[in-house]
Amino acid sequence: SDIGAQKNRVVTEEEWLQKWETHNIGFHKEQGHPLLQKYLDVLLSGRSGLRIFFPLCGKAVDMKWLADMGHHVVGVEVSEQALKEFFVERSLPYSEEPVPGIPGAKKLQSTSGNISLYCCSIYDLSSSIVGKFDGFWDRGALVAVNPCDRQRYASLLITLMEENSSYLLVTASYDPNKHKGPPFYVPESEIKSLFG
């Protein structure tokens, strides 16, 4: 593999939760992502009212931006703190409810109903729970997934895709022997083998 020393690196769920608790969240951006803005037309393909999925969403400001355009946004994140901060920092009223079929999971939903955020492991989700999606914005998910879990991650997301889904993916290029990740290095050849 050309991912060097990262091949066997594993970041635990507890380590991610610790990053949120200590506000060690350099990966969070306070402004909308310029690449999403630049390639929004590719994601939407002239369509309106899409269901758009944010894997490992954190408290991404882009979720409200797309919801304000009339899209229905669904995200998943292990950190309940991140999800609550999303709603509080945007002054969005929300409700919480358990997720049938996923013990301990919660769904936080905007009162307007157009933003639904699941607090659980992404691997607990299925299309029977969250439905299927017209668009995906993967700004920091694939590069955060442990290299050993990439196939599992991609296989899950493929099951959540509608027939004409658009998938926008942001990765980072660097020498994986000089940085242990995350973000992890994902070579283009691996992206093609994962998603076709």
Annotated binding site for S-adenosyl-L-methionine: 16-27, 56, 77, 121-122, 139
What region does 21 belong to: left with phi over 0, alpha with psi -120 to 50, or beta?
alpha
Q: Are 138 and 62 in contact (CB under 8 A)?
A: no
Report the binding-site residues: 16-27, 56, 77, 121-122, 139
The token pair that represents 26 in the structure block: 């350099």
CA 188 vs CA 38, 169, 192, 194: distances in Å: 21, 11, 6, 10
Per 3-state DSSP, the chain is made up of helix, strand and coil in percentages (nearest 5) of: 35, 20, 45
Q: Are 43 and 52 in contact (CB under 8 A)?
A: yes
Distance CA 179, CA 194 (A): 23
